[in-house]
A and B are shown apart, each in its own frame.
Chain A
Amino acid sequence: MFCVISAIVLSILGVFSASNRVLAKEALDCVFRRVTLRPCNTGFDQKMKARILGFVITRSENTARFLNQYFEVLAWGFFVLLLTSGIFALRGFYLFYTTGSCNGLNSTALCVFDPTGKNNETSVIDEGCRVDQAGRGTGLTLKDVDLSGFPVLNSSSPDKIVFIGCYACDYTRKAYPLVKKLVEDTGASFTFLEFPVKEQSDLDARFAYCVNQQDPLAFWDYSDLLFAAEKVDLDNEDFLSDMVTTVGLDNDTIKACVSDPATETGFQNQQQQVLNTNFQGTPTVFINGEALVGPKPYRVYAIRLDGFFYWLNN
């Protein structure tokens, strides 16, 4: 069993050191012999045991004695540990690949492949966002959320993507183009739910609301312009007006819409619908009902629609 552990450990170390590569080769030869039901006559295990004992004996004779007596048992123990940690490592890698976190979808626990947790970062909603957290439900859901009235693309597609974002949120800005690309690649239905988690986004959210009311198709161009704009411009009415003109809409009509009390009521109703999803920050993306919090890599979104080997479909 010692050969198996050595083969694994030394193969890894062998990537960095030539001397370990030689030992790894010996260990692998030993493993191969064992697997093919031949005796391991290279003496590799004896050699390594002697080296280990020689090292330990100079530090603690009792430890060396224990090690000598239970060497095979310890080797089995380490093998089990190695196997277990190997399985967990593979699981972590699989989860990272499919969810963007080693610990599963939306987990913010430490992941070695994403140590800063950037795949799970969100602009959190709190009192600063003028949202009263008291009494809010838990568990992300689209159940009982009325999505009518929100801008939607490819509405007839069976694949449904619902994106909750804020124009001024950096993480939304990171995720939005990826999700848009996914929509272009797959033709999935895409519903955009704007929620201004940043105060500077209050005005642009209302402009966007009115643009959608005026021309749902022009909304997507307008939305793209806002995501591409500098954040400081998002609460600049002149800038927002310029963008309205850019997408070919009448600026006076939109301004009138923004200042219309009925707009505020409709806007607040939509905000309440967004809050009904129990989301905690932007971006939060629902793909066929499954919630993904934070800006995930493109593959994570794509896997939701096209499976593990999503690239084969493109």
Chain B
Amino acid sequence: MKDMLSYRKDFPLLVTAPGNKPVVYLDTACQSLRPKAVMDAVTRYYMEEPACAGRSMHHLAAAVTRDVDTARSQIARHLHTTRNEEIIFTRNTTEAINLVANSLGLKLGDIVLITDKEHNSNLIPWQRLARRDGVIIKVVPTRPDNTFDLAVYDTFINEKVKLVAMGMTSNLDGVTIPAQEIIKKAHKQGALVLLDAAQTAPHQNINVKTLDVDFLAFSGHKLLGPSGTGVLYGKYKLLEKLEPFLVGGDTVAFSTYDSCEFLPPPAKFEAGLQDYAGIIGLGAAIQYLNEIGFDAIQKQELMLNEYLTRETRDLKGMHLIGPADARLRGGIFSFYIEGLDHHRIALMLDQMANIVVRSGQHCVHSWFHARGVAGTVRASMYFYNTLQDVESLVENLHKIRKVL
């Protein structure tokens, strides 16, 4: 296994000029850094083949078409599906979820099950369906430590549930739900399952076939890919039935003045000119991740998270969000300190030691509102983070606590 430190040189932000204060980037849950390989892939598109895929016949178009297909194939392999057509490119996870929400045809009385700590991306689309079409949203509460309770889930899942839409890994605390069991139980009741895997795809191996998940969405920008790229995986037979959400250019085989014939998936869901540079960059990101391997990534994240958890345990007023066991929180360490404003902590860390963390409610306002917590500071780690990074965070947190 390659030394994890050796990957840092691929990330320009992490290569510090002598005499400069290094950036301690701990906001990967929001957006990961990009390796040069991804930037090179994006640049190569603009430099060498800045053309449309699948439309024109010239050699540049053929090159782009090939590269986009390669990226789709890389992502399909990454998710362990053999059908490239099951991969739809979107702008991000939010758009992917909106696509399902607006295309699935849920109607009055249909129940959508979510957890009590969904990102707004997997909450607001259903709320809109509830207002517009009379869909019922039911919230499955998690345990006090934010872990998923299958027994509680059992009391919610029934034949009236048409869709289980859940965040696979929470951006709030890094807790991953037992997706396979959840899906099994849902399917038993005839419900479909959509997983928001925005925080899972960058850190864990996802096998959509083993999971038997119906839809799965994730973003490129959290797994080393360019901003504005996302993926919706869907079982082909379901995608075939789904009405497209956005329609227009490239979604139809032909059209007359009063009718059209849609192309099969994924084309019918990819309306308009696509972000080819982003898609190609996303392919490069997946390739880069695969070269590192998820075992190594998780090992590094766990080492860092365990250190953070252990070294901040005795900090006065410290409240960790999620389970105490770092193994259950992936690369996320979310906390608040009694008496200290979370934004102030984040700003001070930035000012003191270039430590970049997220503060606030992390687009999970509903959970904070329900639990009466004002906000948290979230340090989210990835393979490119080092022990020195988290040591710096710990040291500065102790300093802040001591002084304020």
Chain A interface (Cβ < 8 Å from any Cβ of B): 43, 46-47, 49-51, 53-55, 57-58, 61, 64-65, 68
Contact = CB atoms under 8 A, between A and B. Distances in A.
A58 B355 CA distance: 13
B358 to A, nearest CB: 15
20 contacts: A46-B343, A46-B344, A47-B347, A50-B341, A50-B345, A50-B347, A51-B347, A53-B344, A54-B347, A54-B348, A54-B350, A54-B351, A55-B352, A57-B352, A57-B400, A57-B403, A58-B353, A61-B403, A65-B403, A65-B404
A47 B397 CA distance: 17
Given A55-B351, A58-B352, 13 more contacts: A50-B343, A50-B346, A50-B347, A50-B348, A51-B348, A53-B348, A53-B351, A53-B403, A54-B347, A58-B351, A58-B353, A61-B403, A65-B403
Contacts of A65: 403-404
Contacts of A51: 347-348, 351
A155 to B, nearest CB: 73
Q: Main SS of chain A's interface residues? A: helix
Contacts, number: 48
A221 to B, nearest CB: 73
A61 B399 contact: yes
B236 to A, nearest CB: 48
B131 interface: no
B354 to A, nearest CB: 10
A228 B350 CA distance: 67
A57 B352 CA distance: 7
Interface residues on B, range: 10 to 19
A64 B343 contact: no
Contacts of B404: 53, 64-65, 68
Given A55-B351, A57-B352, A58-B352, A49 B344 contact: yes
Contacts of A58: 351-353
Nearest to A55: B351
B299 to A, nearest CB: 33
Contacts of B341: 46, 50
A49 B340 CA distance: 12
Given A46-B341, A68-B404, A57 B347 contact: no
A61 B347 contact: no
Contacts of B348: 50-51, 53-54, 57
A65 B352 CA distance: 15
Nearest to A66: B403
B351 A47 contact: no
Given A46-B343, A50-B344, A61 B402 contact: yes
A54 B345 CA distance: 9
A7 to B, nearest CB: 19
Which of A49, A50, A51, A64 has the largest count of B CB atoms less than 10 A from its CB? A50
B343 to A, nearest CB: 6
B193 interface: no
